[in-house]
Structure formats: structure tokens, C-alpha cells
Amino acid sequence: MIEVKGLYKDWKEFSLKKITLEIKKGEYFVILGPTGAGKTLLLETIAGFYIPDKGEVRIDGHEVTELPPEKRNIGFIYQDYSLFPHLTVEENIVFGLKLKKSSSPDTNRKRVKEIMDRLSISHLAHRYPSTLSGGEQQRVAIARAIAIEPAILLLDEPLSALDPRTRDYLREELKRVREELGITMVHVTHDQTEALILADRIAVMMHGRIAQVGTPYEIFNKPLTDEIADFVGVENIVRGVVRSNEQGIAEIEVDTGTIFAVSEYPAGEVKVCIRPEDIILSESRGESSARNVMRGRIKELHDMGPLTRVKMDTGLVALITKQSRENLGLQKGDEVYATFKATAVHVVR
């Protein structure tokens, strides 16, 4: 458990103002906020790289506010991986193990091998970081951090520098690490989808303050202020139940029908998330490769400059360009078909 109480810190152009947080043991906690909100500074202060100007930090009930980072039993992962460039992959991973009191060359070697196997990086053992791809480097960084079996893993935008495919893959990897190790994870990001998919709870951070703390459902459906709503974007989040799953395509029953989604969940209650910009509107049910088509009536049309927000009676919200709206001649009360691909549907528990 991590407790942050009344924390203040000024550093360069960033500042933290009266931060109070409670992160539960084993929780996946995401700190979500725009660039410059002070997220990284908060994470680095929890890690002990900075001493706060005011306030305190507690880990598992012990006050650690002025304890140096090496005594906090934490793992830290940066966006740019921060691998030691003069050490091989293997040497990077064993770095923290060698410093442990219980360390011996034999047990260390075993442990490094086990971790490299788990993250499928054994073939990179003798390479230097500069020869690895971004995804490989990040897997090494994860391996290095979890090798010392930290109580807490702190992640600073760990997926931001990766290409979309690798990002999806590593996102699942992070989920797996949490599930297998039961470790407390604190993950900083500016990406709403990432927060939505990974988080048990989210803290929205703005201008150096915590603006809202809650479950993803609460944050995206009941943002406390307009500013938060504006930042997190309007997401379609619908509760549903997985009825079947064939070859990774889940059939999910929701109030207004059935939604197909790419998901591993075989059964049970889930939340289905679709970004408004991923929904295509049309007047007739045309042929397409998209798996999901839902009929509904337009309940509201909201003008947003070049874009129009369309709210349907099924609860779905779509975002289309003004041009499309004019071409289709959309009016309140019109019947339209909302189409979206199974890959555009994010399923979370």
C-alpha cells in the first residue's frame, strides 16, 4: 500500500500541490493527465528520487519520505527504458540482484534465466541495449525491474515510445506481470485508452493536483468537471456479459443487442468500450467487413466546430465530421446504422 499525504514539491517548471492518494496493495493504479501536469514528478517523488517540500509518503505503513530510493524496494521503468548502455541485457537484469544480501552467482544466474524466459528475451542475453528495438528494450527494462522482486512497480509512460502493435503486446504483458506477481503497479500515462484498459482505479491529474480518483467507469462516465470530461473524452462504456468466445472473438450481450469484440475473455461480466471516432454512421445497412452493426435513432446532435457528436437512443455516441453530417443530411430523429469493427472494441473487466 502506498499513502501520499499533503505532498508539495516544486521542481523546475513543475509543481505538485497538496497531493493525497491511497493506492491499495496489489492494485493497478493509473495516474492519467495531460503533458506537464506533474505526473512524472509525482512518480519520482514516490520513488524517492526527490524529497518533497512538504507532506509525507508511506509504503506499507512505514514512513519513507526521506528514505533514499535504494531502501524502498521499488522497481522503476521509464518511457525511454533507461537501460545501462555499457552493460549487456543479462548484466542489466542481474544488476539489482547482485546488490541483494542473499545474492550468489548461481541463484542469480537461475533467476535471470527464469525471468528472461518469462519475457521471451533469452536470445538477447548477450546483446547491448543500443542494438535492440524499442519493444525489446522495454521488455528488458521490465525484466530488470521485476528481477529484484519489488513490492511496487512504478511505470512512467512505459508504452508511449512504442509503435501501436508493440504497445498492444506490451500492454498485455504488463497485465500479465501484475496478475502473476500480484505486485502493486503505479502507471503514469496521458493515454486514455491505456488507462481504461489497464487500470483498477485511475487518478486524473491536472495542473499539479489530483482532480479525480475513481474506477475507469466512474472517470469516463461521471467526470467531476468539464475540464476532466474534455480531457478523458467521451467514451462509450457499456456493461455486458460474454456469452461465448470463438477463436478470440467474444460475443457480448449488452442491453441493446450483441457486440462482437476481439477479446480473450471466455465468459462473465465485462465492460465494452468503443471510441466515438471508431463508429461509422450510415443511412442503410451496407455490406462491410465490420462485425458490428446497430440500428438506432438520433437523439441529439452536438456541434463541435469541424466535428459533430451524435448521440443515439441506444446510448452510443459517435463522432463524425461536419462534412459527413451534411452529406448524409442527418437530423434529430433519423434512423441510422452504427457500424464498428470488432477490433475497435476494447473489453475490460
Partner 1 sequence: MKVLLRWSVEKVKREKIFLLSLFLGLFLVAFVVLTLGNMFYQQAEDVGGLIAAATDPVVLKAIGISLSMALASTLIAFLFGVPLAYFLARKELWGKSIIEGIVDIPLMIPHIVAGIALYGVFMRYGLIGAPLRRLGFVITDAYPGIVVAMLFMSFPYLVNSAREGFKGVDPRLENVARSLGASHWRTFREITFPLAFPSLLNGAILSWGRAISEFSAVLVLAYYPISAPILIYEKFTSFGLRASRPISVLLISICLVIFVVLRVLHRRSK
The residues of the shown chain that bind partner 1, judged by CB under 8 A, are: 44, 47-49, 68-70, 72, 74-76, 78, 80, 82, 84-86, 95-96, 99-100, 144-145, 148, 150, 154
| Residue 259 beta carbon to partner 1: minimum distance, rounded to whole angstroms | 42
Full DSSP string of 187-233:
EEES-HHHHHHH-SEEEEEETTEEEEEE-HHHHHHS-SSHHHHHHH-
| Residue 153 beta carbon to partner 1: minimum distance, rounded to whole angstroms | 10
Which is closer to partner 1, CB of 95 or CB of 265?
95
Containing 338, the helix (H) or strand (E) segment is strand 335-340
Answer whether 306's CB lies under 8 Å from 234's CB: no
Widest pairwise Cα distance in the chain: 73
- Cα separation, 233 vs 119, in Å, equals 34
| Residue 121 beta carbon to partner 1: minimum distance, rounded to whole angstroms | 17
Answer whether 98's CB lies under 8 Å from 108's CB: yes
* Owner of C-alpha cell 496489489: 26
Q: In Å, how far from its chain's centre is CA 103?
A: 34
Answer whether 239's CB lies under 8 Å from 253's CB: no
Which is closer to partner 1, CB of 141 or CB of 205?
141
DSSP β-bridge partners for residue 238: 272
Which is closer to partner 1, CB of 81 or CB of 260?
81
Which is closer to partner 1, CB of 116 or CB of 259?
116
| Residue 189 beta carbon to partner 1: minimum distance, rounded to whole angstroms | 17
The beta-strand segments (E) located in 24-121 are: 28-32, 54-59, 62-63, 74-77
Which is closer to partner 1, CB of 82 or CB of 221?
82
How is the beta sheet containing 268-274 ordered, strand by strand? 257-262, 249-254, 236-246, 268-274, 345-348
- Cα separation, 202 vs 216, in Å, equals 6
What amino acid is encoded at 87 in this protein? L
| Residue 281 beta carbon to partner 1: minimum distance, rounded to whole angstroms | 46
Cell numbers standing for residue 171: 500492454
| Residue 64 beta carbon to partner 1: minimum distance, rounded to whole angstroms | 13
| Residue 104 beta carbon to partner 1: minimum distance, rounded to whole angstroms | 16
* Owner of C-alpha cell 448521440: 311
| Residue 71 beta carbon to partner 1: minimum distance, rounded to whole angstroms | 8
Which is closer to partner 1, CB of 185 or CB of 345?
185
Which is closer to partner 1, CB of 75 or CB of 223?
75
Which is closer to partner 1, CB of 52 or CB of 223?
52
